[in-house]
Amino acid sequence: MAAPSSGPVTTLAWRGDAHVGHVVLLDQTRLPDEEVELEVHSAAEMIAAIRCLAVRGAPALGVAGAYGLVLALRELAGRAAQHLELVRARAAELAAARPTAVNLPAALARVRARAERELAAGADARALREALLAEARALEAEERAASEAMGRHGAELLADGAGVLTHCNAGALCTVGLGTALAPLYVAARQGKRLRVYADETRPLFQGARLTAWELARAGLEVTVLVDGAAGHLLARGAVQAVVVGADRIARNGDVANKVGTYPLAVLARRHGVPFYVVAPCTTLDPACPNGAAIPIEERDAREVTHPRGIATAPHGVRAFNPAFDVTPAELVSALVCERGVVHAPNEVRLAALLARAPAP
Amino acid sequence: MAAPSSGPVTTLAWRGDAHVGHVVLLDQTRLPDEEVELEVHSAAEMIAAIRCLAVRGAPALGVAGAYGLVLALRELAGRAAQHLELVRARAAELAAARPTAVNLPAALARVRARAERELAAGADARALREALLAEARALEAEERAASEAMGRHGAELLADGAGVLTHCNAGALCTVGLGTALAPLYVAARQGKRLRVYADETRPLFQGARLTAWELARAGLEVTVLVDGAAGHLLARGAVQAVVVGADRIARNGDVANKVGTYPLAVLARRHGVPFYVVAPCTTLDPACPNGAAIPIEERDAREVTHPRGIATAPHGVRAFNPAFDVTPAELVSALVCERGVVHAPNEVRLAALLARAPAP
């Protein structure tokens, strides 16, 4: 078992220098059967990896997108004007690979802005590559530190012996550090608290069964898997003292888009008087988005529903409804845990205050 | 496409006479891939068929149990005292095959009581077989008529153009007629109403995707499958005007045990102001059971969770929580539809009045 404090797993890393380096991903489509590394050498390969969910989770997607833009510079040739054009075009393509998480376009905007500054200052292709890799690496380091801080803040909300229900995978596998929703669990375990963790399997793609159960068990935590529909019975039995989930995008008013199936948990948690915590870095907050209704909800291929793990369950040709996310209204969120601290009963005023505050050291 | 009015499918039938006959089941574990008939020649084979869910659904289980007891009479030999002993022992074994639905023990008690009366009146083995087959056939005919009546009463609650969400399979496949929850849909369709039906896939065993989608599509109704966790988003989008489910057991106070994942739907329906209807024959009501807390909830094999359709999703050895049912409190039930009519806002007083009323013609 890997010690959680050492980082349960390496989701994503840049290997080599800015000129001949590449990205290495743990291919999450192969878990939990196999731990297979995927080498990514171009922006097009990164887009494919993002689309097929080899890499996933809002914070990891941001870092993946940033490195993807560094890889795009391989195509550089000719004059600086063309460099800028290429950076903008590839940033737009990478951002479009998945539409819901704000971290991906935000990370790309940051790296693109750096490119614009470097080019305005007369950087050549070589200098541009080095500058963009430095920017992507800084982003990665910040996400790692944010993960650790979320873990610290969130662990204070979890009592020794608590039952904790989580959905999808908001763990080490969706970040470059300890995770978002799972970071408090890893930190609490490090502090000697014994938790009973319940992981919704999370249809259609089974991220809870495949990824959350895998990384928690690997780190030595006690984990029990259940089908998504069984969470109501689990809560009714009093087995859960906290529901902890991540977020793909948080609107200005505190509405939270996260993996489909999150909203029912929030409604059930409220009914049973169990706190519902959202753990996400500040980069997940989208001040430009007024509320949940304005968050685009990706609809994915019907086959994910009709062919779990490739095996047909539904009769041939039946239609399917397959939203990847749902929206939990802010009023159901007991607290937002981010790297800057805990915001109880988040709303527009409290979130604006959070963003105005200087980042924690 | 089969016409729904002719009965979408034959779930279960007795073939032959009381002495050399047997039961034929549509093997529901093979749907939707194959329509395979399973011949059942002994009580032990019926217990196996019930346990593996080749036959399932509270009303069908009652009829299956009754015919199972007729099959047990094959073992008859010797004196009448031994006949009674055998009937009692096999009835207890059949009743234990699945613990939650009340129809199974109730049907067995009815057939066993008939056996006791016949034996007290001096029936021989041959007369006993004929009497018990007649009793089981009467039960089947009553269930079929109840299905039709539930369909008639329930159809009045469904408007033309409505979106209807259902869970698990409470259709023709779980009864010997039109079904319970699906009976109103078949009758409404027969009346020319166009419905959009949404079928939760219903993990762990996918009865919604495999069975409900299959039988509705076969009968020409429009059906869309979704993962259980997506029901919240579907309701939030306003696509659903009624949630309609069956029941495995209804307590005296109106609490409803049904397939796991039902309770979350009831909580969500209430939040969105959508009526939540339970459709079940009066045999599902258990006056001996004071409330939901007293209903035994079967826990099934962890492999159903960790190995959907036989393919591992969770890491090897991880534990699973697998309750087959959950309990929806009466206060969340908008109406109970049974063969005698519609009981709005069911509670102990209204259900007692329902049971006191003479059966509808």
Interior angle at CA B217, CA B213 and CA B220, nearest 5: 150
Q: At residue B7, does pLDDT exceed 80? A: no
Give the helix, strand, coil percentages of chain A, each rounded to 5: 45, 15, 40
Residue type, B106: A
Residues of A in contact with B323 (CB under 8 A): 230, 233
Residue contact B313–A314, C-beta within 8 A: no
At B94 the pLDDT is 96
Q: Which two tokens stand for residue B348?
A: 């102990």
How far apart, in Å, are the Cα atoms of B71 and each of A117, B57, B63?
85, 20, 12
- B2: pLDDT strictly greater than 60: no
Nearest-by-Cβ selection for B319 from A201, A224, A228: A224
Give the CA angle between residues B171, B172, B174 to the nearest 5°.
70
Distance between A331 CA and the closest CA of chain B, angstroms: 13
* B204-218 pLDDT, tens digit each: 999 999 999 999 999
Rounded Cα gap, residues A144 and A147, in angstroms = 5
**First CA to last CA across chain A, in angstroms?**
31
pLDDT one-digit tens code per residue, B55-76: 998 889 999 999 999 999 988 7
Comparing CA positions, the residue from B200, B274, B212, B214 lying closest to residue B243 is B274
Task: State whether A201 and B198 contact (CB < 8 Å).
Answer: no
pLDDT, tens digit (0-9, with 9 covering 90-100), for B29-44: 998 888 999 999 999 9
Query: What is the sign, positive or negative, of the torsion defined by CA atoms of A279, A282, A283, A289?
Result: positive
User: How large is the ipTM?
Assistant: 0.88
Listed in sequence order, the residues at least 6 apart from A227 whose beta carbon sits closer than 8 Å to its beta carbon are: A200, A201, A203, B203, B204, B228, B260, B261, B305, B322
Q: How far is A300 from chain B (nearest CA, A)?
A: 12
- Identify the bridge partners of residue B25 per DSSP, sorted by sequence position: B12, B38
Measured in degrees and rounded to the nearest 5, phi and psi for residue A278 equal -110, 125
B248 is catalytic: yes
Whether residue B314 and residue A226 make contact (CB cut-off 8 A), yes or no, is no
Query: Three-class SS of residue A286?
Result: strand
Residues in B closer than 8 angstroms to A225, CB to CB, are 305-306, 314, 318-321
DSSP 8-state secondary structure symbol assigned to residue B186: H
- Cα-Cα end-to-end distance for chain B: 31
**Which one-letter amino acid corresponds to residue A190?**
R
CA distance linking residue B203 with residue B182, whole number of Å = 19
The one-letter amino acid code at B47 reads: I
| Nearest-CB residue to B271 (from A202, A267, A314) | A267
Structural tokens at position B353:
């009045």
Per-residue pLDDT at B352 exceeds 90:
yes
Q: Is B35 helix (H, G, I), strand (E, B) or coil?
A: coil
Report the chain A residue with the minimal C-alpha distance to residue B292. Answer: A236
Within 10 angstroms of residue B358's Cβ, the number of other Cβ atoms is: 6
How many CB atoms sit inside 10 A of residue B19's CB? Answer: 12
CB contacts of A264 in chain B (<8 Å) are: 229, 231-232, 264, 267-268
Cα→Cα distances B308→A96, A226, B157, B202, Å = 32, 12, 35, 11
Nearest C-alpha of chain A: how many angstroms from B14?
Answer: 28
One DSSP character per residue, A151-195 reads HHHHHTT--TT-EEEE-S--BGGGSSSSBSTTHHHHHHHHTT---
- In the predicted structure, residue B6 carries a pLDDT above the cut 60: no
Average pLDDT along chain A, 361 residues, taken 10 residues at a time: 49 93 94 92 96 91 96 79 89 91 90 95 92 96 94 98 97 92 97 98 96 95 98 98 96 97 98 98 91 93 95 94 97 97 98 84 49
Give this prediction's pTM: 0.89
Cα–Cα distance measured from residue A344 to residue B164, given in angstroms and rounded to the nearest whole number = 37
A326 contact residues in B (CB cutoff 8 A): 229-230, 232-233, 236
Q: How many residues does chain A have?
A: 361
Q: What is the DSSP letter of B349?
A: H
Decide: A186 and A4 in contact? Cβ < 8 Å: yes
Q: Which of B248, B255, B286, B326 is catalytic?
A: B248
Which residues on chain A are in Cβ contact (under 8 Å) with B245?
Answer: none
- Least CA distance to B167: which residue of chain A? A229
- CB distance A322–B210 less than 8 Å? no
The amino acid that residue B208 corresponds to is: G
Query: Å from A204 to nearest chain B CA?
Result: 6
Of B204, B320, B327, the CB nearest to A236: B327
What is the structure's pLDDT at A284? 87
3-state secondary structure of B10: coil
Taking an 8 Å cut-off on Cβ atoms, the answer to whether B225 and A268 are in contact is no
Largest CA distance in chain A: 66
Q: What is the CA angle B264-B270-B275, rounded to 5?
A: 105
Whether A260 contacts B229, CB under 8 Å: yes
CB A26 within 8 A of CB A218: no
- Distance (Å) from the alpha carbon of A170 to chain B's nearest alpha carbon: 16
Under an 8 A CB cutoff, do B203 and A227 touch? yes
